[in-house]
Amino acid sequence: MIAIQEYAVRRQQLLAQLEDNVLCIVPAAREVTRSRDTEFPFRQDSDFYYLTGFNEPDAVLVMEKSQGKSVSLLFCRERDPHAEIWHGRRLGPERAVAALGVDAAFSLSQLEEEVLVRANGKSRLVFAQGADEALDNMLFSTLAQLRSAPKKGYIAPKLMQDIRPAVHSLRHIKSAAEIQLMRRAAEISCQAHIRAMQFCAPGRYEYQLEAELHHEFAMQGARYPAYGTIVGSGINACILHYTENQDELQAGDLVLIDAGAELCGYAADITRTFPVSGQFSPEQAQLYQLVLDAQLAAFQHIHPGGTLPQAMDAAARVLTQGLIQLGILQGELQDNIQSQHYRDYFMHGIGHWLGLDVHDVGDYKRDGEDQPLVPGMVLTIEPGLYISDLAEVEAKWRGIGIRIEDNLLVTADGYENLTAACPKHIADIERLMATR
Residues involved in catalysis: 37, 241, 258, 269, 348, 352, 359, 382, 386, 403, 405
CB 50 within 8 A of CB 76: no
Partner residues linked to 57 by β-bridges: none
What is the C-alpha radius of gyration for the chain, rounded to an integer number of angstroms? 25
Rounded Cα gap, residues 73 and 93, in angstroms? 10
Partner residues linked to 65 by β-bridges: 22, 70
Q: How many CB atoms lie within 10 A of CB 334?
A: 10
Rounded Cα gap, residues 181 and 25, in angstroms? 27
Task: Specify the pairing of strand 22-27 against strand 124-127.
Answer: parallel
Q: Is 286 left (phi over 0), alpha (psi -120 to 50) or beta?
A: alpha
Rounded Cα gap, residues 263 and 422, in angstroms? 18
Compute the CA torsion angle 7, 375, 187, 50 (nearest 10 deg).
20
Shortest CA distance to 60 belongs to which of 5, 121, 110? 110
Rounded Cα gap, residues 378 and 165, in angstroms? 18
**3-state secondary structure string across 107-136:** EHHHHHHHHHHHHCCCCEEEECCCCCHHHH
Shortest CA distance to 7 belongs to which of 39, 54, 45, 44? 54
Rounded Cα gap, residues 186 and 260, in angstroms? 7
CA 88 to each of CA 80, 91, 98, 266, 277: distance values in angstroms, whole numbers, following the listed order: 10, 10, 20, 24, 46
Rounded Cα gap, residues 206 and 256, in angstroms? 10
Asked whether the CA dihedral 322, 326, 329, 334 is positive or negative, the reply is positive
CB 281 within 8 A of CB 252: yes
